[in-house]
Amino acid sequence: MITVNPSLPTPLVRQVYDALLAQIASSAMKPGDKLPSVRALSTDCGVSTMTITNAYQRLVAEGHVEARRASGYYVAEAERSAATRRKPFLGRTSVDSLWLLKHVYEDDRTLLNAGCGWIPPEMLHIDGVKRALAALSRKSAAGLANYGTPHGYLPLRQQVQTLLAQQGIETAPHQIVLTHGASQALNLVARCLLQPRDVVLVDEPGSTNLYAMLRSLDLKLVGVERTVHGPDVAALQALAQRHGAKAFFTTTNLHNPTGGHCTPAVAYQMLRLAEQLDFHIVDNDVMAGLEPPGAATPLASLDRLQRVIHVGSFSKTVSPALRVGFVACNEEFAEKMILQKMVNSLTTSELTERLLHGVLVEGRYRAHVSKLAERLQAAQHTVCDRLEAAGMQLFTRPAGGPFLWARFERDDVDMRALAQRAIAESFLLAPGDLFRTDLRPTPWLRFNVGYADDPRLYRFLAQEAKRLRARA
């Protein structure tokens, strides 16, 4: 019998994990023994099934337990030696921006990563990948040992064309270039559009990884402040004119990190400015499909891929392990992309592209995305309510997606000290300065609603908010 205590500072997931690991280490549970079902153990412990699932997945990841399809979880037959097991997180004496930046994007299973950048694995379309793998293994070996074509696997590009048409984006297969995820797509676009020392406009706040990639190309970043309606259009106009910028990298819908949308009025003004001031808009739309029906209007649907370069990915809906992204653009730019892609990495993996094609044509992808969107919308509602109850202010209530931007009332919050206190409580937070081009101190935090719904986290934030009010 496992006992958990919600009043303890140790996260419930960690309590369940430690208790099970202690039973395995003491031989109370022997190799081959079946663990209780997720539902049964959640009932016995009085915790959510998500808590038990996360604890089991940590044990699986570290080799203590194995998951058997349609059977359950079992103690691993061959336990790894104590010398090779992952050591538990013991904390640090100091926190700096580089350490935080690194760990925000790592799956450190000893911490509740409340601000991470990925969808929980249990929400992804892993069953669809498994079925597609099985189907692919039964097919002829032809095409599984090739470099592929520069544009990417044609049947997959045709599927992407269909998905884009459902968003109102009319394109043709030869205007679609497949890439190793959205990260490579953005890199190739930047290489085609810009030269070293060029000024590039970006969302402020925005994607930390995008900032790092653009800086690696020796580009000068200038941030365009984000409002609840989208980019600040007046700032965009002033900065584009002042710097002669050639490109604006943005995320119009389900923005990272704020979770916000770009209103139709702002979208039209952005396109008008791009035409008047002669710059391109690179729209990173990796969350496509996770918004409520009719809540988003992709820029490319208004522009017909003249000034807009549309970037997409399947990491947030199928699996990040597949590393398949794409760029939709006009024909002239597609040819530039192909050349840059060949120079950069020859071709992309036809094997993973065939696998993803199998996932899309198998027939369950649309239902999966719809269910995923509903789950994230429900999580958004819950986390928003509980963060407000803990004394935090929201930038906006996102219509969907995983990201949420919230702050404390006071501006003079020492976020580094706060992050250190959170680590001591087994939480990893994502401070807002990591999402700014200038790393300027800010009271904002990014939350991922797939991970942040935890009573201990809310208690910690409420205590911090109370401490700040008392200091005021």
We report the CATH number of the domain holding residue 18 as 1.10.10.10
Positions of the chain with pLDDT lower than 70, given as ranges: 9, 78-110, 142-143, 472
Q: Same structural domain for residues 21 and 48?
A: yes
Measured between alpha carbons, how far is 271 from 302 in angstroms, rounded to an integer?
8
Two tokens, residue 193: 């559009």
The count of structural domains within the chain is: 3
The pLDDT assigned to 92 comes to: 42
Cα separation of 463 and 404, whole Å?
20
pLDDT score of 101:
47
R_g over Cα of the chain: 23
Q: Report helix, strand or coil for 284.
A: strand
Judge if 118 and 204 occupy the same domain: no
The reply to whether 320 and 378 lie within a common domain is no
Q: Is residue 89 part of a domain?
A: no
Whether 52 is in a domain gets the answer yes
- Alpha-helical regions (H) of 97-153: 97-104, 126-137
How many other CB atoms are there within 10 angstroms of residue 122's CB atom?
Answer: 13
User: What does the pLDDT read at residue 90?
Assistant: 42
Q: In sequence order, what E strands does 154-302 have?
A: 176-179, 199-204, 220-227, 230-231, 247-250, 280-284
In the DSSP assignment, the letter for residue 249 is E
In tens, the pLDDT along 207-256 reads 999 999 999 999 999 999 999 999 999 999 999 999 999 999 999 999 99
Domain CATH number, residue 466: 3.90.1150.10
Q: Which residues pair with 280 in a beta bridge?
A: 247
**Residue 2 resides in a domain:** no
Provide the pLDDT for residue 194.
97
Question: Is residue 420 assigned to a domain?
Answer: yes
Name residue, tokens 């398949």.
324
> Do 427 and 292 share a structural domain?
no
Burial category of 452 from C-beta neighbours within 10 Å (exposed 0-12, middle 13-18, buried 19 and up): buried
Q: What is the domain-level CATH number for residue 244?
A: 3.40.640.10
Structure tokens, 145: 């040992």
Give the three-state DSSP class for 15: helix
Gap between the Cα atoms of 386 and 327, Å rounded? 38
Q: Which two tokens stand for residue 413?
A: 């919050």
Q: Tell me if 88 is assigned to some domain.
A: no
Q: Are 225 and 232 in contact (CB under 8 A)?
A: yes
The closest alpha carbon to 429, from 397, 452, 410, belongs to 452
Cα(406)–Cα(462) distance, integer angstroms: 13
Residues 45 and 113 reside in one and the same domain: no
Q: Give the pLDDT of residue 80.
A: 45
**Cα 16 from Cα 11, distance rounded (Å):** 9
Name the helix (H) or strand (E) containing 2: none
Number of other residues whose CB lies within 10 A of the CB of residue 294: 7
Whether 81 is covered by a domain: the verdict is no
Residue 437 and residue 292 in one domain: no
Whether 110 and 137 share a structural domain? no
SS3 assignment for 201-236: EEEECCCHHHHHHHHHCCCEEEEEEEECCEECHHHH
Whether residues 251 and 107 fall in one domain: no
* 453 and 354 both lie in a single domain: no
The 8-class DSSP code of residue 84 comes to: T
Give the per-residue pLDDT at 297.
83
* Cβ-contact 235, 269 below 8 angstroms: no
Pairing, β 65-68 against β 72-75? antiparallel
Kindly report the pTM of this predicted structure.
0.79
Crossing angle of helices 331-345/181-193, nearest 10°?
Answer: 110
Q: Which domain holds residue 110?
A: 97-125+367-471
**Residue 201 and residue 116 in one domain:** no
| Domain presence at residue 442 | yes
Are residue 157 and residue 249 in the same domain, yes or no? yes
Q: Are residues 304 and 438 in the same domain?
A: no
| Residue 358 near residue 130 (C-beta atoms within 8 A) | no
**Domain assignment of residue 347, yes or no:** yes
Compute CA distances 13 → 57, 113, 279, 359, 410, whole Å.
10, 12, 48, 32, 31
DSSP string, 333-371: HHHHHHHHHHHHHSS--HHHHHHHHHHHHTS-HHHHHHH
Peptide bond just before 264 cis, omega within 30 deg: no
